[in-house]
């Protein structure tokens, strides 16, 4: 199946505006943190051509409060209004308003193995970023699902198995997911965040994961 660019897939005005705001944030992040690693849902739909919309920008960076302050000042200069900003020992949580849409930036101060990938902007221009390998992203998503049982994490696991090159690295993690599986607490929410196409239910997703593990 031919790939449909993001600028043609996004139909909702709010999604387009959030996607553009994310692009601006990502561009500013790399000015101050050139080794930043993008992960989570946004990495999946921007770097791996995923089909699930994500509002958050999640990154791994080294803790540098001076650079964080400079990043926020730069974003304010671009028109972002800071709604929340909390810097803790090991993480940063922030919310912004930009062109009447809210977008979140979350950072974890942790070293991870970078994986160079193309990031597709809301205008379907590709830029280089660092993200995680599909195997590392998948392991994170399995851990997230077992912890919070959100349908988006289960869907991301299902999507990412199609990108895995080193099956041996994640087979045991998937078996753990299958053995400890409980239905998602918010299954009805998946329809709201799938960009285009059919919306599988959790049983269908689990069946596909089991097939892949065999």
Q: Report the CATH number at residue 101.
A: 3.10.450
100 conformational bin, left if phi > 0, alpha if psi -120 to 50, beta if neither: left
- Spell out, as residue ranges, where the chain has pLDDT lower than 50: none
Among 114, 132, 150, the domain-final residue is: 132
User: In this structure, are 115 and 158 located in the same domain?
Assistant: no
Of 127, 161, 162, 144, the residue nearest 58 (C-alpha): 144
Range of the domain at 186: 135-213
User: In this structure, are 155 and 75 located in the same domain?
Assistant: no
Q: What is the tally of structural domains in the chain?
A: 2
| Domain annotation covers residue 123 | yes
pLDDT (0 to 100) of residue 3: 79
User: In this structure, are 125 and 200 located in the same domain?
Assistant: no
User: In this structure, are 11 and 106 located in the same domain?
Assistant: yes
d(Cα 39, Cα 153) in Å, to the nearest integer?
13
Tokens at 116, concatenated:
């160079």
pLDDT (0 to 100) of residue 1: 57
pLDDT (0 to 100) of residue 11: 86
| Domain annotation covers residue 1 | no
Among 106, 132, 158, the domain-final residue is: 132
């Amino acid at each position: 199946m031919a790939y449909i660019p993001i600028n043609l897939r996004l139909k909702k005005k709010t999604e387009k505006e959030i996607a553009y705001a994310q692009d601006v944030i990502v561009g500013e992040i790399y000015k101050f943190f050139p080794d930043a690693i993008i992960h989570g849902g946004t990495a999946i739909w921007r770097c791996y051509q995923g089909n699930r919309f994500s509002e958050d920008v999640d990154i791994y960076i080294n803790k540098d409060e001076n650079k964080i302050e400079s990043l926020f000042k730069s974003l304010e200069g671009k028109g972002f209004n800071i709604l929340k900003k909390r810097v803790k020992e090991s993480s940063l949580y922030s919310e912004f308003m930009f062109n009447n849409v809210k977008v979140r930036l979350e950072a974890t101060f942790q070293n991870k193995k970078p994986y160079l990938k193309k990031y597709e902007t809301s205008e379907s221009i590709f830029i280089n970023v660092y993200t995680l390998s599909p195997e590392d992203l998948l392991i994170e998503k399995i851990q997230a699902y077992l912890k919070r049982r959100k349908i988006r994490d289960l869907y991301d696991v299902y999507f990412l198995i199609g990108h895995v090159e080193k099956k041996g690295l994640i087979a045991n993690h998937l078996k753990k997911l299958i053995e400890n599986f409980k239905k998602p607490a918010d299954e009805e929410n998946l329809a709201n965040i799938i960009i285009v196409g059919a919306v599988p239910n959790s049983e269908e997703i689990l069946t596909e994961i089991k097939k892949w593990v065999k």
